[in-house]
Structure 1
Amino acid sequence: MSERLIRIAAGGFDFVARTHPDAPLTVAAFEKLLPYRQKLIHVRWSGEGCWVPLGDFQLGVGFENHTSHPSAGDILFYPGGYSETEIILAYGACSFASKMGTLAGNHFLTIVQGREQLRALGTKVLWEGAQDVLFEAM
């Protein structure tokens, strides 16, 4: 599976992310949703990150290359189980967790352009609230 690029527009900022080769099932399932529009809100338990809460939504994938410690610019998909299904985008120090404790999500996208804007996006979401986010194929 070759890596592809995804455009992400969020809170007035533009990013380009590359798909992660170690999460082929997550990438393939997510790409079927594109263009994908949601709301991005600040995390509650995980530190410097923003998330898209997805409730009981099922993408139809399990765990692939899951991690609890994404780096700034990493985007994870959590398929649900102990907490609700979600997408999390780390903009700084992040340890993926919920009120149930540590979680792990599939690292399926990595921001490769616009990384210098990540902290500004995170701060905007923290202080101004939910922001629209759009994921689309390039």
Structure 2
Amino acid sequence: MSRPQPEESSVRLRLVSNDLEFLAELRPDAPHSVAAFLALLPWETQLVHVRWSGEGVWIPLGEKDFALPWENTTRYPSPGDVLFYPGGYSETEILLAYGACSFASKLGPIAGNHFMSFVEGLEQLPELGRRCLWQGAQPLIITTHPTTGASR
């Protein structure tokens, strides 16, 4: 896998779910995860409430293999932290913590690559989690933020 370009970590992302809007920054200490995620953009998907991890929502990616190494891993994301799980014990997925979260699968604890953190809209995260839990899957549109100058 080629080394991602350094400017990728300076890109800000805009995430919108219905009337909730967030801004996030990418983490330079997870360059391969950042590059794989940017390749998905612009992306329209759905968030589903987690089953084993606590206060979090996730995007299941099935058996898709992004050939990601382990980088900047954690089991305990803070609210607003986003993890990219490259697969293995569980299916490939992206997890967003909106509250107390301990990343796990049906087989037990797992860790993911912390590649993105929300920097604006954090106060709306509990509402996003509540909607996913009580109303079911919620739409999510992810694009680069217009002020980054990125062409996506």
- TM-score normalized by structure 2? 0.88
Secondary structure at the aligned position of 2:132 is classed as: helix
Secondary structure at the aligned position of 1:108 is classed as: strand
Q: Give the root-mean-square deviation of aligned CA atoms.
A: 0.9
Does residue 39 of structure 1 match 2:41?
A: no
Corresponding residue of 2:148: none
Corresponding residue of 2:14: 7
Alignment of 1:24-103 (within 5 A): 24-103=31-110
Identity of aligned residues (%): 54
Secondary structure at the aligned position of 1:7 is classed as: strand
Amino acid corresponding to residue 21 of structure 1 in structure 2: P
The answer on whether the counterparts of 1:18 and 1:112 sit within 8 Å (CA) in structure 2 is: yes
Compare CA radii of gyration and give the structure with the larger one: 2
How far does residue 58 in structure 1 lie from its aligned partner after superposition? 1.8
Amino acid corresponding to residue 144 of structure 2 in structure 1: A
Corresponding residue of 1:119: 126
Segments of 5+ residues of structure 2 without an aligned counterpart are 1-5, 146-152
More strand by proportion, 1 or 2?
1
Segments of 5+ residues of structure 1 without an aligned counterpart are none
Alpha-carbon distance in structure 2 between the residues aligned to 1:25 and 1:35? 18
Amino acid corresponding to residue 75 of structure 1 in structure 2: V
Alpha-carbon distance in structure 2 between the residues aligned to 1:99 and 1:15? 30
Alpha-carbon distance in structure 2 between the residues aligned to 1:11 and 1:91? 17
